[in-house]
């Protein structure tokens, strides 16, 4: 067992505070990673405040983890001490079900372990995430980091990156397609970068007029202020695919109407309260689809990281100290993040 410093929430209405706990001693196939940086995802906030239900306290959030390997088990083949390594939203799964056999571990049909707030199959305790100085993970769930990328800007790729990359690939974003991204937050800004890099005509929908110039710099061909009905209407029946990253309930009809026949609106944002039910006519009259997507499997996450290495893509980040996390959550709720907070974990070691 090794002592680990972290930050935890102890109740839904309590601020996060310093918390010390034990990580398991690395098993034969485990990699121990000293965490350099951890991104701050809106899911961390939803979980810390129990907005989805099911939070077990204390909870140590954080699933956008990058760092260096400090120890490996005897049977580890892919990593050695000193290597860069990354961990995303998953730290285990059954490895045998049809989903796992296709490396779609995020859709495991039996038991998977999220990086935090899941029962840990190795210890029987709950998993604790990346708001901490180190983590121990089976090498099968550890990713390789391209050496040319800025390490802090790489952390958000492990959730915001893969959660947008996976559906964009699944629904064929590329040259000749018109793709919308709703919300310019952590996920949304990665969605814009990927849709642009994949060659799609990329349109960003935002509620924040102050983000228009940034969206264009990040790769949007057009930006629509979603509160402006005329601007929205100009895009009616024109999109192949729209990715909704918003962390709050919104009208889905406003976006379904913008899809062409057979177009798909995919939800990745998971608000604590449900969206109002869409009008069925908006689906049936044009054979449109309403879909969802959860992060990505290990194979695709590695593919995404390698794609980022080739295209030199990282997140636009604002670095914070661990003790600034509560203020960062408040700013995230005001959509005041450009475009991902990343915690410098050295701030917890000093
Ligand atoms: P975020 O950084 O807070 O970004 C959300 C963005 O949504 C905001 O920046 C804002 O963009 C827009 N927005 C916020 N409130 C809004 C409202 N009331 N109406 C319209 N737009 C609003 O959050 P994130 O980290 O990107 O996460 C987004 C959501 O995805 C969260 O619910 C999170 O839990 C979920 N998530 C899902 C998965 C998955 O696998 N499916 C993975 C990770 C995260 P504008 O200012 O541009 O309007
Ligand atoms: Zn996340
Ligand atoms: Zn499985």
Instruction: Indicate the top mutation candidate among 117, 335, 338 to test ligand 1's pocket, ranked by most ligand atoms within 8 A of CB.
Output: 335
Give the pLDDT of residue 64: 99
Q: How far is the CA of 297 from the centre of ligand 2 (A)?
A: 14
DSSP string, 66-114: EEEEEEE-TT--S--TT-EEEE-SEEE--S-SHHHHTT-GGG-SS--EE
Instruction: Indicate the top mutation candidate among 106, 183, 267, 291 to test ligand 1's pocket, ranked by most ligand atoms within 8 A of CB.
Output: 183
CA distances from 250 to 57, 226, 231, 320, 336 (A): 30, 11, 17, 30, 19
| Residue-by-residue pLDDT tens, the chain, 350 positions | 678 999 999 999 999 999 999 999 999 999 999 999 999 999 999 999 999 999 999 999 999 999 999 999 999 999 999 999 999 999 999 999 999 999 999 999 998 999 999 999 888 899 999 999 999 999 999 999 999 999 999 999 999 999 999 999 999 999 999 999 999 999 999 999 999 999 999 999 999 999 999 999 999 999 999 999 999 999 999 999 999 999 999 999 999 999 999 999 999 999 999 999 999 999 999 999 999 999 999 999 999 999 999 999 999 999 999 999 999 999 999 999 999 999 999 999 97
Give the pLDDT of residue 123: 87
Q: How far is the CA of 296 from the centre of ligand 3 (A)?
A: 14
**How far apart (Å, rounded) are the C-alpha atoms in residues 104 and 301?**
10
Q: How far is the CA of 103 from the centre of ligand 3 (A)?
A: 9
Q: Is the CB of 185 under 6 A from ligand 1?
A: yes
Instruction: Indicate the top mutation candidate among 159, 225, 245 to test ligand 1's pocket, ranked by most ligand atoms within 8 A of CB.
Output: 245
Domains of the chain (ranges; CATH) run 2-158+316-349 (3.90.180.10), 160-292 (3.40.50.720)
DSSP string, 216-275: HHHT-SEEEETT-HHHHHTTTT-EEEEEE--SS---SHHHHTTEEEEEEEEE----SSPP
Give yes or no for a cis peptide into 58 (omega within 30° of 0): yes
Report the SS3 class of residue 123: coil
* Per-residue pLDDT tens digits for 226-278: 999 999 999 999 999 999 999 999 999 999 999 999 999 999 999 999 999 99
Shortest-distance ligand to the CA of residue 110: 3
* Per-residue pLDDT tens digits for 299-322: 999 999 999 999 999 999 999 999
**How far apart (Å, rounded) are the C-alpha atoms in residues 181 and 195?**
9
From 321, 331, 341, 326, select the one nearest 14 (Cα to Cα).
326
Q: Is the CB of 254 under 6 A from ligand 1?
A: no
Give the pLDDT of residue 1: 63
Give the pLDDT of residue 265: 98
Closest atom of ligand 1 to CA, residue 45: 34
From 218, 210, 230, 226, select the one nearest 315 (Cα to Cα).
218
Q: How far is the CA of 11 from the centre of ligand 1 (A)?
A: 23
Q: Is the CB of 243 under 6 A from ligand 1?
A: no
**How far apart (Å, rounded) are the C-alpha atoms in residues 330 and 234?**
34
Q: Which residues contact 284 (CB under 8 A, 6 or more apart)?
A: none
* 154 DSSP 8-state letter: H
Q: Tell me which residues have their CB within 5 A of the ion that is ligand 2.
A: 41, 43, 159
Q: How far is the CA of 63 from the centre of ligand 2 (A)?
A: 6
Q: Is the CB of 332 under 6 A from ligand 1?
A: yes
Shortest-distance ligand to the CA of residue 96: 3
Give the pLDDT of residue 124: 87
Report the SS3 class of residue 160: helix
């Amino acid at each position: 067992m090794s002592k680990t410093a972290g930050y935890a929430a102890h109740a839904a209405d309590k601020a996060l505070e310093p918390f010390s706990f034990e990580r398991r001693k690395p098993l034969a196939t485990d990699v121990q990673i000293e965490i350099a940086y951890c991104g701050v995802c809106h899911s961390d906030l939803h979980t810390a405040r129990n907005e989805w239900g099911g939070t077990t306290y204390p909870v140590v959030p954080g699933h956008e983890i990058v760092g260096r390997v400090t120890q490996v088990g005897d049977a580890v083949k892919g990593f050695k001490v000193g290597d860069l390594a990354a961990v995303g939203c998953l730290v285990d799964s059954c490895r045998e079900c049809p989903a796992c056999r296709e490396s779609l571990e995020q859709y495991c049909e039996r038991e998977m372990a999220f990086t935090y707030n899941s029962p840990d199959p190795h210890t029987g305790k709950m998993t604790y995430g990346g708001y901490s100085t180190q983590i121990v993970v089976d090498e099968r769930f550890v990713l390789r980091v391209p050496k040319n990328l800025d390490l802090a800007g790489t952390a958000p790729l492990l959730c915001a990156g893969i959660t947008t990359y996976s559906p964009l690939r699944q629904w064929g974003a590329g040259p000749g397609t018109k793709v919308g991204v709703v919300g310019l937050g952590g996920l949304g800004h990665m969605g814009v970068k990927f849709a642009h890099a994949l060659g799609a005509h990329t349109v960003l929908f935002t509620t924040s007029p102050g983000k228009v110039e940034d969206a264009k710099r990040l790769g949007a061909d057009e930006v629509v202020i979603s509160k402006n009905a005329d601007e929205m209407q100009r895009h009616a029946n024109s999109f192949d695919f729209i990715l909704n990253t918003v962390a709050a309930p919104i009208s889905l009809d406003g976006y379904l109407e913008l899809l062409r026949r057979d177009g798909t609106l995919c939800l990745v944002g998971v608000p604590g309260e449900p969206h109002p039910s869409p009008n069925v006519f908006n689906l049936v009259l044009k054979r449109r689809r309403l879909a969802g997507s959860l992060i990505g499997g290990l194979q695709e996450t590695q593919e995404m990281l390698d794609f980022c290495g080739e295209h030199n893509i990282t997140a636009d980040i604002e670095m914070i100290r661990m003790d600034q996390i509560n203020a960062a959550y408040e700013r995230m709720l005001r959509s005041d993040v450009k475009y991902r907070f990343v915690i410098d974990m050295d701030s917890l070691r000093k």
